[in-house]
């Protein structure tokens, strides 16, 4: 649903939601799915995303003090290749 060069951002409020987002990003970033023993790629898979946030961004102390519900929020971002 993203155009090439578009950026997608996901905010999760629960650890299980964050795990789903992290695993989905990981799957879409992975290019070749061939076994390691093959001398060259035969699958032709290309990565679809580039992850912009290695670790999730979380609310700072000031934000949590102003809005206690922000404590559990995790933000992840990726860019479509």
pLDDT at 71: 96
pLDDT at 11: 97
Please count the residues of the chain. 81
Q: How far apart are CA 27 and CA 49, in angstroms?
A: 9
Q: Could you tell me if 55 and 34 are in contact, meaning their C-beta atoms sit under 8 angstroms apart? A: no
Q: pLDDT per residue over 22-31, tens digit each?
A: 999 999 999 8
Q: Could you tell me if 77 and 52 are in contact, meaning their C-beta atoms sit under 8 angstroms apart? A: yes
Q: In the beta sheet, which residues pair with residue 72?
A: none
Q: pLDDT per residue over 41-54, tens digit each?
A: 898 889 999 999 99
Half-sphere exposure of 42 (CA within 13 A, CB side): 6
- Tell me: pLDDT of 36 over 90: no
Domain ranges in the chain are 7-80
pLDDT at 37: 87
Question: CATH assignment of 7-80?
Answer: 3.40.50.150
């Amino acid at each position: 649903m993203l155009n090439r060069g578009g950026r997608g951002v996901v905010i999760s409020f629960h650890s299980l939601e964050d795990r789903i987002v992290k695993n989905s990003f990981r799957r879409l970033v992975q290019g070749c799915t061939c076994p390691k023993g093959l001398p060259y790629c035969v699958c032709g898979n290309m990565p679809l995303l580039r992850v912009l946030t290695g670790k999730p961004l979380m609310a700072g102390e000031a934000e949590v003090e102003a809005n206690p519900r922000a404590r559990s929020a995790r933000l992840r971002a990726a860019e479509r290749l």
